[in-house]
Amino acid sequence: MSSPGYSLRQLAYFVAVAEAGTLAGASATLHVSASALSLALDELERALDVQLTVRRRAHGIRLTPAGQDTLRRARRLLRDAGELADAAGGEAGDVAGTVRVGCYTTLAPGLLPATLGRFAVRHPRARVEFVEGPQDGLQRGLLEGELDVGVLYDHRLDPALELTGLSSNTPYLVLPGGHRLAHGAPVHLAELAEEPMVLLDLPPSSEHALGVCLAAGLSPRVRHRTANPDTARALVGAGLGFSVLAQPVPGTRTHAGDEVVAVPIADDPAPLPIVLAWSGQVAPTATARAFAAAAAGDDEGGRSHR
């Protein structure tokens, strides 16, 4: 088998330039001269016999379609190389290396701590880097190779993602303490037709909550929108409307000290499935598979349902 005409260093320089968007930005990050980076890009393009970038002095670096595909592959190769180096220092079968995890913002507090704890106990030589964010950004990160695995709601996900089910959350109603319907019994959403709504404006939670309302015969009048579930609860506690959330939140007090009450919805709302997701175009690393098993609470991981 002949060796490739490019080096891991060239790939690393290419990834750094692509992520920075400019030679100067990558130069500052890597502490390598811009001329050395430019030369590495030229050599990589010659080795691959393809144009990867369009370099314009005043507008930075733009990837060609071939460059975008190469970026995804280069990230994977670099991670595999790093995992190989880490594993070489351990025992046979030992999981090492770094796994990059993306977690939907509202799911992170409830799911990440226990998963990270299990993973650390099982694989002390491995590392986890995680980011929290909205679902559309996390999907892009998975498909572009920036993330190895994501913890997401299974709601309008890209079909290019492979999924493994974890659990689900059932939407519930959030009312201020003392509200006429805050007595613990399930409530039909139509009973709130005359009251304003506080919407957690963080897709897919917002889309799902509005869909739950419409399915129950309620066309909500949204008074306030927020991307922060704590702020949504605080606005409800201040008497500014009701909200529909999916992620359970412990406690009955907001940051301001107001009382809020979680009430079941009597209209049998559809649950939101929680899944592990990764790009179907790239096989997950051993470290990513081990993280998936820890998230699923088992030793082998769940089965893909896509």
The region of weakest confidence among 78-82, 161-165, 259-263, 300-304 is: 300-304
pLDDT bucket at 215, cuts 50 / 70 / 90: very high
Does residue 303 sit in helix, strand or coil?
coil
The structural architecture, per CATH, of the domain 8-71 is Orthogonal Bundle (1.10)
Supply the pLDDT for residue 72: 81
Fold of domain 97-165+277-296: D-Maltodextrin-Binding Protein; domain 2 (3.40.190)
**Six token digits for residue 72:** 């995804």
User: Kind and range of the H or E element at 165?
Assistant: strand 161-169
Start and end residues for every CATH 3.40.190.10 domain found in the chain: 97-165+277-296, 171-270
Residue 90 has pLDDT above 50, yes or no: no
Supply the pLDDT for residue 295: 92
* Residues 122 and 294: beta-carbon distance below 8 Å: yes
User: What is the average per-residue pLDDT within 67-84?
Assistant: 79
User: What is the average per-residue pLDDT within 106-132?
Assistant: 93
User: What is the average per-residue pLDDT within 31-55?
Assistant: 88
Supply the pLDDT for residue 85: 63
Start and end residues for every CATH 1.10.10.10 domain found in the chain: 8-71
Distances (CA, A) of 89 to 79, 85, 103, 197, 285: 16, 7, 30, 56, 17
Supply the pLDDT for residue 298: 67
The region of weakest confidence among 6-15, 21-30, 85-94, 165-174 is: 85-94
Q: Name the region of 68 (left: φ>0; alpha: ψ -120 to 50; beta: rest).
A: alpha
Quote the pTM value.
0.71
The identity of residue 176, as a single letter, is P
**Six token digits for residue 4:** 């490739």
Sole residue written with tokens 């897919």: 204
Fold of domain 171-270: D-Maltodextrin-Binding Protein; domain 2 (3.40.190)
Supply the pLDDT for residue 70: 87
Supply the pLDDT for residue 302: 42
Residue 89 has pLDDT above 50, yes or no: no
Most confident of 51-60, 61-70, 233-242: 233-242
Supply the pLDDT for residue 265: 97
Question: Rounded distance, CA 81 to CA 8, Å?
Answer: 8
Residue 198 has pLDDT above 80, yes or no: yes
